[in-house]
Amino acid sequence: MTSVTIGAGVDHFQEKGWLLTRTLEGENAVAELQAWVNEVAAWPDADGEWMHHRELTDDGPKLCRSENIVPFHDGLRELLTAGTMLSTASALLGEPAVLYKEKVNYKLAGGAGYAPHQDAPAYPFIDSHVSCMVAVDDSTLANGCLEVVEARHHQVLPMDESGCVRPDLVAAFEWVAVEVPAGSTLWFHSRTPHRSGPNTSGVPRRALYPTYNARSEGDLRGEYYREKVARFAAGDGRADGKVQVSLIDDFQGRSL
């Protein structure tokens, strides 16, 4: 897979809190990425290794997220832990980066959206981190692309009881929908407010979401997943009929 470099995008990222880059060039590279994600989706539900989560849609249960993937997939490990992805994360953090966590959000037809939130409160152990969405399929308004608030990445905002941005702030913000073509990447700061709607189209909106932290804070990926599995096992989850996929309650999907 070939990739392009970030260039002068660092200034845009610092000012706005987000940046769109092209990660994969050519139809073959996108088709290969889609094939890799199909492979992950076909993995069986496993004990304590990768994690699959499912949501209830009007068409029945559907996969909504897979996590802890790179130890088990060579192609995705190479894409997310080396090359352009790692160098872009390092450029945006201003120091060498290391992968903290990774997931696929599938948002298949009829899949649910995400309430307005910042990622920072969901990530224990690290202060300096950056996330992105690598579009596996074209991400459009109809299938639930991300919406961001520009230039509001300087502080953690007041939250409601679910860990999402307080409704009065949500209403006051100007939300910008960012459509992302397959093979491109939307980078966003860990404090950039973002949300997304449900997939009301007939086509999937799959995306990879790697998060990177400054390597100077340590390689904490293993610790993150140990903590997450422990919190889920301890029932530190939702009792409101929604699926718990995160350490905050941003996902709006119904549980099976």
Ligand X SMILES: O=C(O)CCC(=O)C(=O)O
Rounded-to-integer distance, Cα 57 and Cα 60, Å: 5
Nearer to ligand X, 84 or 190 (CB): 190
Nearer to ligand X, 87 or 159 (CB): 159
Nearer to ligand X, 82 or 166 (CB): 166
Position closest to ligand X via CB: 196
Kindly list the distances between the CA atom of residue 39 and the CA atoms of 10, 36, 43, 117, 198, in Å, as whole numbers in the listed order: 33, 5, 7, 30, 24
Rounded-to-integer distance, Cα 245 and Cα 228, Å: 10
Rounded-to-integer distance, Cα 190 and Cα 117, Å: 10
Rounded-to-integer distance, Cα 27 and Cα 82, Å: 21
Nearer to ligand X, 18 or 114 (CB): 114
Helix (H, G, I), strand (E, B) or coil at 246: coil
Nearer to ligand X, 87 or 191 (CB): 191
Binding site for ligand X (CB under 6 A): 105, 107, 114, 119, 144, 146, 194, 196, 207, 209, 250
Nearer to ligand X, 54 or 194 (CB): 194
Strands (E), 24-167: 51-57, 60-67, 97-105, 114-117, 129-135, 146-148
Question: In the complex, what is the shortest distance from the CB of residue 209 to ligand X, in angstroms, rounded to a whole number?
Answer: 6
CA angle, corner 82, sides to 76 and 107, nearest 5? 35
Question: In the complex, what is the shortest distance from the CB of residue 148 to ligand X, in angstroms, rounded to a whole number?
Answer: 10
Q: Which helix or strand (DSSP H or E) is residue 78 part of?
A: helix 74-81
Nearer to ligand X, 91 or 132 (CB): 132
Tokens at 51, concatenated: 């994690």
CA angle, corner 41, sides to 46 and 181, nearest 5? 145
Burial of residue 41 (number of CB atoms within 10 Å: 0-12, 13-18, 19+): middle
Q: Say if strands 18-22 and 184-189 run parallel, antiparallel, or are unpaired.
A: antiparallel
